[in-house]
Structure formats: C-alpha cells, structure tokens
Chain A
C-alpha cells in the first residue's frame, strides 16, 4: 500500500513537472528580446564580446577597439570555445537573454545549428558591411535564407607545411609540391619515407578532418548543396578522398596521434615531414625555435577531378551580433573594423599573425612581409591567394554525425571491404539516422 502511494506521488510529480515545462516553452519566445547588460543612458556604450583565444581572436578585438573611433567600450570575456557553445545553448534555449553578450564568435561549422535553432536570437547585419568584400566560401555558413548574420573573420585556408630539409634530402624542391594531386602526394611520401626514414604525415585515426580537406578541394561535402541530402554513395570526391586515405595508411606513411598535444609533438619533434592543415598551425610550428628556416608551405594538394582547386579550408570562425540592447552599436563597431578596414587587417597580420577573409586587405604591404621562420616565404600572401580559390561548400548540420558513421565504415574499408559497399552502407545508415 505504502509503495503504491509512493509510486502515485512520483508519477504525479513527474507529470506536473512535464506540464509546467510544456506551458513554459510556449511562452518562452516572448522574453527573447530580453535585457542585455549593454548600455542604456550612458554616452559610451559598453559592448560585451565572447571569444576564446587571447593570442588570436581576442587580440583582434583589442586592435579593433583601439582603431575604432565610435563611442564604444568593449568588454571582452574569454571563454574556451566549447564553453561558449555550452553557455550560448543554455542561455538561448532558456529563452532569457539575460547575461548574453552583444557579440559572440562562433566556429563556421557550428554556426548553422545556432542560426537554425534560434533565428530570433541573432541580429541581421547585412546593412553594416559589404559581403562581396569577403571570401566566397565564408558566406554560406554565416547566413541563413539569404540573410547575413555573421561577419566573416579568420580563414582556415589550408596549406601543405613541409620540412624543406627532409624533402631536399629525398630530392624534391618546392616546385615539385606545387599544383599536385593527393595521389602524387602519396607517391612523394613513399619516396621520402624510403630515402629519409621519416614519417610523412601525422593523423588521428579518430579524426577524419583530412577527408574534408580533400573533398573541399573539389567543392564537395558529405551532403549536397542543400545541406541536408546525404551524399555519400555517388560522391566521387569522397570516393577519391577515401582511396587516398587508404593509400596513405597502407604505405605506412603515418605517425598516429591520439590528441592535440601528440599532434603538436609529431612535428615539433621532427618526426613527420609534412603537415597539411589550416594556416592556424603556423604558430604551433614556429613554437619550436630550433627548426627555424627548415619549414615552408606549398599549396594544398587537390583531388584528381575537373575543376578541383589547390585550395581548401579547415576551421575558421565568424562574429555574430545577438539580438539584445546595444545590437546596432555592436553591428556598427564590427562593420567599421572587421567589416571594412584594411588598416585593421594590416595591424592584425603584423601584430597577431592572423589572416582575415577580407579580400581588399590581401594587396597591402603587410601581407607581403617575408617570414624568416619559413625561409623568407611571404606565407600570409600565399595563404590569402589560396583563400580566394577555396571552393564554397554547404556543410549543413550533420557533419560530425555523418563522419562518425564514415569513421566506423572506414575501418571496414581498410580491412578490405569494397569501397562501393562501404559507401552504400554508410549512406543507408546516415539516411536512417538523420531522417
């Protein structure tokens, strides 16, 4: 009898809670316009911004504030990137904008999930800058239904970082690495490994980022242009990327890593000859001072497909204005600094070493400064040239969900399962999972 009572009360209270939840969520849209801390009354407006790297995007905000002559005081809050995602999700889904910043930095790959889930929480900023000034591939992930919500910031344009001394030892020059395909990359790798004994690349078996880099050179992704239709089985670029991946694995060119610090160690220790990733890795390569002058950067290898470019992208983020008080001021601030100022990008590249996606800046002198660590190569200029070539893709919402499936199937492929079956199975799984 007692137990029955207990059960009854528990069930009742759960139902009660559920009912409350339902009712609340119905009204949650109303307080969406909320109360940001940003200014009312005062002459100078305080604008709150969330970003994550003091040596990079936070430094960029500081330069922007320094150069901006409007009456704005910037309050920068540093948070790890995952923490920002957590805080935004909690804040926005609770429906209270209390505590939310005016400006937030969001990684391009995640942007769509925020924009689609909370369209009212973001402020359209079309009018505050000219989007044609920015690299084309940045616009797709930062807009929703043709409305621009993000101001494109840094580029993740990739390059083939390589050890000049190892490659020379095996008889290769810079020109041998320019405009090559991934097949050629694997051939060179085999040769270098045979002649010098060094591994050619460091990969984390659980991270297939390299597949995305390869696919994007041909403007392809795991999904079609609409961002939702799963496109694996007849996806020629993906097929080639997986073949290349298998070739790299089978030729034993890989020094495996299992986390970021091991990845850094792989090239800082001099174990691997090339690092084909986003340009942001340059700072980590330069951290090992003893290797100064032994590195250079070549364009990213491309897939062997018509129209494929020797340029790809990995990572990168953009600025968003939240729909709270002070949004116009925040948008003006972004528009006049990140959105249209060449001097800003010059100072950014000289002081911080960060490369934006603002195209007019790439002609400035600051971009042409030679980098002594990379043997005098003007790497910033090279990166910004490649950046203009990066084929745009619609990444959609499910990149990581699909990649988990591919990741499992990849193991089967490496064990000998035919590629057609691998892709057909992955396609079926992805379709049933994402329906």
Chain B
C-alpha cells in the first residue's frame, strides 16, 4: 500500500515535471529544425541549427538588441534595488506620522494596470522630449525610467526589513555612524539574500518588459530583445526555426542570472514569506 502511494506520487510528479519542461525542450529542438518541420510538430532534433543561426544573424541585429536589453535591465535592476530598499528601509525603521497611510496609498498604486497610465506617460515623455531630449521618447532612458520605482519592491523590502534586527541600527548610531552609513554598511550586507531575490525579479521583469519599450522606442537600433522577437514573427510567412533560435538566445541571460543567484533567491523568498 505504501509502495503504491509512492509510485502514484512519483508518477504524478513526473507528469508535472514533463508538462513544465516540455515547452523548453520543444524550444530547443525547434531551434535545430526547419520552419516547415516546426509547424509539422517534429520532436526530434534536426540539422538546421547553423542555417537558422546564419539567417538570424544575417536578418536582424540581435547583438545590438541584446546590448540594449542588457543596459536597460542592469541599470533598472540597480536603481530598483537602491530606491526600493532605501524606501522599504525608511518605511520600516523610521517613525513618522501617517507613514502607514502613505504606504497604503502606495500599495493601491499596484492595482492600476500599466495600460491605464501608458497614454499619460507617453504624453509626459513627449513633452519632456522638447526640453530634455536625452530622456525623451526614443531613448533607452525613457524605456527604463517608469519601471524603476515600483510599489512592489518597496513592499518587498519593507516586509523583509521586518526581520532585520533593529538593535543593529541602535548599535550603529551609538558607534557614530551616519544614517546613510548605517544603511550602506550594516543593512545592505546583512540583507544580501533579499537583494539577490529582488535582483532576479527586477532583472527578469525588465528583460521581458514589452509594452512600454514597444511604445516608446522607435529607432530600429534601439530595439530590445522581446521587440526583436516580435518583429521576427511579424511577416506573413514567419520562419519558426529562426524565431525559436532567437528565443533560446534571449532566454540565456535570465537563465544565467537565475542559476547564479538561485540559492539566495530561494532564501530571500522564504524570508519574505516568513516576514
């Protein structure tokens, strides 16, 4: 009976694992096949990989799209962590009248879908373009600025700060550290796992961000990776083999970031749940 239960458990887990891994497998296999074979549902690796790579690199400037995406993602991640953690720290450590109320309003802003603020935002950047072209429409800065400060990360850091021993702050003050000094020398090193988890989420969000970069970036040389992939599928007879190749290349950086930080990520997420 116990054995049967065990078999059933593993069977279920195997099926679940297969279901979640299958799309990735299919993506990898399709990368090596011709478009016609992909549409025909071929599941065996083919010999078309180099052909697909050649077409991909010949047809689009995937290197510059990778570069744009990387720049945007790295800067966004850095700023998000800095601003989000400063704000989350502030909300939790300092006592101010009405801070909970401000925090609640902040949380409410999470409920507003991006599509609803997109047009005013575009208008805003359109206006800025006249006086400050370096952050106006069709600049990488415009693509990343609206995504830098989000209520989610402030909330995330505040929740995790609840676990942070407040005595350390007191100790820092007694030893004569400035408030910023306490933050950078004590808080940041102690909260490494939280930062790692936040970094992964911020990086992935930014890497996969589609709608806003689509609207605000106009020049072909400023395309990000998701936009480039969307363009590959744009024609009346898309080459699915080439698209799959591009998707595999586009997935690599997020996969790498995740694998490098996986340990911290899990610890960080656990922390936020416990908090």
Name A289's closest neighbour in chain B (CB-CB). B36
Name B229's closest neighbour in chain A (CB-CB). A80
Residues of B within 8 A of A6 (CB): 101, 104-105
* Contact indicator B236/A93 (Cβ below 8 Å): no
State which of B68-76, B77-85, B114-122, B260-268 sits at the interface with chain A: B114-122
Residues of A within 8 A of B38 (CB): 261
- Closest-CB distance, A408 to chain B (whole angstroms): 26
Residues of B within 8 A of A283 (CB): 236-237
CA A321 – CA B15 in complex, angstroms?
54
Name B118's closest neighbour in chain A (CB-CB). A90
CA A98 – CA B218 in complex, angstroms?
10
User: Taking the complex as formed, is A10 at the interface, i.e. its CB lies under 8 A from any CB of chain B?
Assistant: yes
User: Taking the complex as formed, is B165 at the interface, i.e. its CB lies under 8 A from any CB of chain A?
Assistant: no
User: Taking the complex as formed, is A429 at the interface, i.e. its CB lies under 8 A from any CB of chain B?
Assistant: no
Residues of B within 8 A of A5 (CB): 101
Residues of B within 8 A of A2 (CB): 100-101
Residues of B within 8 A of A55 (CB): 235-237
* Contact indicator A94/B119 (Cβ below 8 Å): yes
- Closest-CB distance, B53 to chain A (whole angstroms): 18
Q: How large is the interface on B (under 10, 10 to 19, 20 to 34, 35 or more residues)?
A: 35 or more
* Contact indicator B120/A94 (Cβ below 8 Å): yes
User: Taking the complex as formed, is B88 at the interface, i.e. its CB lies under 8 A from any CB of chain A?
Assistant: no
Which of A9, A52, A81, A94 is the one whose CB lies under 8 Å from B123?
A94
- Closest-CB distance, A83 to chain B (whole angstroms): 6
Which of A35, A80, A95, A287 has its CB near the most chain B CB atoms (within 10 A)? A80
Residues of B within 8 A of A79 (CB): 214, 227, 230-231, 234
* Contact indicator A268/B40 (Cβ below 8 Å): yes
User: Taking the complex as formed, is B18 at the interface, i.e. its CB lies under 8 A from any CB of chain A?
Assistant: no
* CB-CB contacts below 8 Å: B116-148 with A: 118-120, 122-123, 126-127, 129-130, 136-138
CA A101 – CA B59 in complex, angstroms?
22
- Closest-CB distance, A377 to chain B (whole angstroms): 20
Residues of A within 8 A of B104 (CB): 6
A96-B126, A99-B137 known; A80-B118 Cβ under 8 A: no
A86-B214, A87-B214 known; A56-B235 Cβ under 8 A: yes
Residues of B within 8 A of A418 (CB): none
* Contact indicator A90/B119 (Cβ below 8 Å): yes
- Closest-CB distance, B109 to chain A (whole angstroms): 10
Which of B40, B130, B215, B234 is the one whose CB lies under 8 Å from A90?
B215
Name A290's closest neighbour in chain B (CB-CB). B36
- Closest-CB distance, B247 to chain A (whole angstroms): 14
- Closest-CB distance, A109 to chain B (whole angstroms): 15
Which of B40, B123, B129, B211 is the one whose CB lies under 8 Å from A265?
B40
* CB-CB contacts below 8 Å: A61-89 with B: 76-81, 83, 86-87
* Contact indicator A77/B101 (Cβ below 8 Å): no
Which of A2, A10, A264 has its CB near the most chain B CB atoms (within 10 A)? A264
User: Taking the complex as formed, is B39 at the interface, i.e. its CB lies under 8 A from any CB of chain A?
Assistant: yes
* Contact indicator B235/A54 (Cβ below 8 Å): yes
* CB-CB contacts below 8 Å: B189-241 with A: 211, 214-216, 218-220, 227, 230-231, 233-237, 240
User: Taking the complex as formed, is B273 at the interface, i.e. its CB lies under 8 A from any CB of chain A?
Assistant: no
Name B218's closest neighbour in chain A (CB-CB). A99
Residues of B within 8 A of A56 (CB): 235-236
The 6 A-B residue pairs with the shortest CB-CB distance in the complex, in nearest-first order: A96-B126, A80-B234, A53-B235, A94-B123, A98-B126, A265-B39
Known: A6-B105, A90-B215. 14 other contacts (CB 8 A): A6-B101, A6-B104, A24-B120, A24-B123, A53-B236, A83-B227, A86-B211, A87-B214, A90-B119, A94-B120, A98-B129, A98-B137, A99-B129, A288-B36
Footprint of A on B, CB under 8 Å? 35-36, 38-41, 59, 100-101, 104-105, 108, 118-120, 122-123, 126-127, 129-130, 136-138, 211, 214-216, 218-220, 227, 230-231, 233-237, 240
